[in-house]
């Protein structure tokens, strides 16, 4: 065997696995890995944290919108997270009507589409209302949420997010809905959520 063949074999065996920081990595399953707006690679693997605040409302309430996501993203760009989201009516915007708060704790799936700036999201889980007339009384039920996020990935692992969400809750007294929009911050980890195959 020639020295060149042995060298080539050593390089193939010893080469490290591709990482998120390498710009030439393969695209994600449903989108490019490179930012449409900024051109640089965007990390979609590892620890995921996103927090947003804004305004929301529907037929029976309006007020402060909040959403917080904690989870992890896979090599294909998909994210699984625990979502805590709500629209707080009491003491925020008037008139105070309907439930004081509607929202829930839900399991959420996020999928980047076309470019990493755009992410579809869908969630379902524990939903409910708060009656805050005398302390906090939880009225439990089922909730689901869906929407789209526009990310502004100034850096490979972080940036601002403009989000649009629809939150729906079903409890014994009926069905409640709120449409919300918020501005937030997203951070992705540099490691992978699960070991590479």
pTM exceeds 0.85: no
Average pLDDT rounded to a whole number, residues 113-117:
90
Q: Beta 46-57 vs 137-152: how paired, if at all?
A: unpaired
- Rounded to whole angstroms, what are the CA distances from 111 to 14, 22, 24, 76, 99? 33, 21, 21, 9, 31
Map tokens 């920081």 to a residue: 21
**Higher pLDDT residue, 133 or 125?**
125
Cβ–Cβ contacts within 10 Å for residue 107, how many?
A: 14
Contact assessment for residue 2 and residue 51, using Cβ atoms and an 8 Å cutoff: no
Topology of domain 3-188, CATH: Porin (2.40.160)
- CA distance linking residue 108 with residue 124, whole number of Å: 7
* Segment 48-78, tens digit of pLDDT: 999 999 999 888 888 899 999 999 999 888 9
């Amino acid at each position: 065997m020639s020295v060149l063949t042995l060298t080539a074999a050593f390089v193939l065996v010893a080469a490290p696995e591709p990482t998120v920081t390498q710009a030439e990595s393969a695209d994600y399953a449903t989108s490019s890995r490179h930012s449409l707006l900024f051109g640089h690679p965007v990390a979609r693997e590892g620890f995921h944290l996103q927090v947003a605040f804004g305004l929301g409302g529907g037929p029976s309430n309006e007020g402060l919108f909040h959403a917080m996501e904690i989870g992890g993203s896979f090599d294909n760009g998909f994210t699984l997270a625990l979502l805590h989201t709500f629209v707080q009516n009491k003491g925020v915007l008037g008139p105070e009507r309907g439930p004081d708060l509607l929202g829930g704790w839900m399991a959420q799936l996020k999928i980047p589409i076309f470019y990493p700036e755009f992410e579809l999201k869908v969630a379902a889980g524990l939903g409910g209302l708060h009656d805050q007339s005398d302390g906090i009384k939880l009225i439990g039920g089922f909730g689901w949420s869906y929407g789209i996020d526009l990310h502004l990935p100034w850096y490979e692992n972080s940036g601002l997010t403009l989000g649009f969400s629809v939150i729906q809750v079903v409890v014994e007294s009926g069905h409640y809905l709120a449409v919300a929009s918020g501005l937030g911050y997203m951070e992705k980890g540099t490691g992978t959520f699960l070991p590479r195959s």
